[in-house]
Amino acid sequence: MHFDFALGAAILAFIHITLYLFLGSRYLQHLTNLFAVLAFLLFMGSIATHWKHFGHFPSYSLGDLFAMVSMTLTLIYLILFMKYRRPLLGLFIFPIVIILGALVLVLPSAAPKDAAGISSIWLLIHLPFTVIGTAFFMFATVASIMYFLQERELKRKNFGIIFKRFPPLNQIDRLTAVNLILGFYFFSVGLISGFVWMIYEPERIGSILPKMIFAVITWVIFGLITYLKKYRGMTPRSTAYSTLAGFISVVVTYAGVAFFLMG
């Protein structure tokens, strides 16, 4: 039940940020953030209820994972808003939260009968760090899209809603860079701890390997973008295209592998 309400709050946040884009009222911005806080608390409540019900942390199904990603995306949106005051990130993030949330409702979420909770400390590190890293990568992608749109308005000399409401190019670029660096840091820790966990539980390698391969691909793509951006002056447009490629890799890692390769 908590999850349904959380999804409802995320939908309301999305509706209000869309209205803010067109109307520009600060009240709509405040309402968006209010619903985002509500969504985060309800997502947390839902995970806690789930945990209590099964007696261990919900981390066995794709649905569980998507619920965690939804909660983390909402939390990072709120943290980034407090730091950078850029609510329009929500215009792109809330649809992702809503889609993931809808999938959670569709996907089976029951734990296997023999599940005994998270058995290894490495998995305990791997799971949140990977999820947080992924969430930051998603934000980097979103910021890149925003850059792309704002740049197009400036080049075309079109002074419409996007020009007026979207942040200045430099700020969007900085947001992309910050999200890339943070995403890379968290994802790296998550990936390394995942490898160590695999060493301790080699019998699981077979089922996890496809996911690990795609996770490494994602890590390499985002690592390369982070490096090129920071040290080689990668152009924002190239960054936008590259992060989109990285985002596709994230989607494949999470969904594609799970659906088609049974990882």
Partner 1 sequence: MQLAVVGLNHNTAPVEVRETLAVAEAVLEELYGDILQNDRIYEAMVISTCNRVEYYIVTDDFLCNVDSVLKIIAEQCKIDRSILQKYTYIHCGEESVRHIFRVAGGLDSLVMGEPQIFGQVKDAFENSRKFGAAKTFIRKLEEFVIKTTKKVRTNTGIGDNPVSVSSAAVELASKIFGSLEDKHALVVGAGEMCEIACKHLRGADIGGITVTNRTFEKAEKLAAEVGGKAVPLDQFREELSHADIVLSSTGASGYMIEAADIKPVMIKRKHKPMFFIDIAVPRDIDPAVADIENAYVYDIDDLKAVVESNKKLRQKEAVKAMEYIETGVADFYRWVESMKIVPVIKALRESFDEKRMLELDRFCDKFKVADAGERRKLEYLLSAFMNKVLHTPLNNLKDLAPGKERYSLDEAVKIIFDLKE
Q: Which is nearer to partner 1, 133 or 236 (CB)?
A: 236
**How far is CA 191 from its chain centroid?**
16
Q: Which residues touch 223 (CB under 8 Å, ≥6 apart)? A: 184, 188
In the complex, least distance from residue 46 CB atom to partner 1, rounded to whole angstroms = 38
What does the chain come to in residues? 263
Provide the 10 A C-beta neighbour count for residue 23: 11
In the complex, least distance from residue 164 CB atom to partner 1, rounded to whole angstroms = 9
Q: What is the DSSP letter of 257?
A: I
**How far is CA 251 from its chain centroid?**
10
In the complex, least distance from residue 203 CB atom to partner 1, rounded to whole angstroms = 48
In the complex, least distance from residue 233 CB atom to partner 1, rounded to whole angstroms = 2
Q: Which is nearer to partner 1, 64 or 173 (CB)?
A: 173
Distance between CA atoms of 184 and 124, rounded to whole angstroms? Answer: 18
Residues that bind partner 1 (CB under 8 A): 150-151, 154-155, 157, 159, 163, 167-171, 232-237
Q: Which is nearer to partner 1, 91 or 175 (CB)?
A: 175
| Cβ atoms 122, 200 nearer than 8 A | yes
Q: Which is nearer to partner 1, 164 or 204 (CB)?
A: 164
| Cβ atoms 151, 236 nearer than 8 A | yes
In the complex, least distance from residue 84 CB atom to partner 1, rounded to whole angstroms = 10
Q: Which is nearer to partner 1, 170 or 207 (CB)?
A: 170
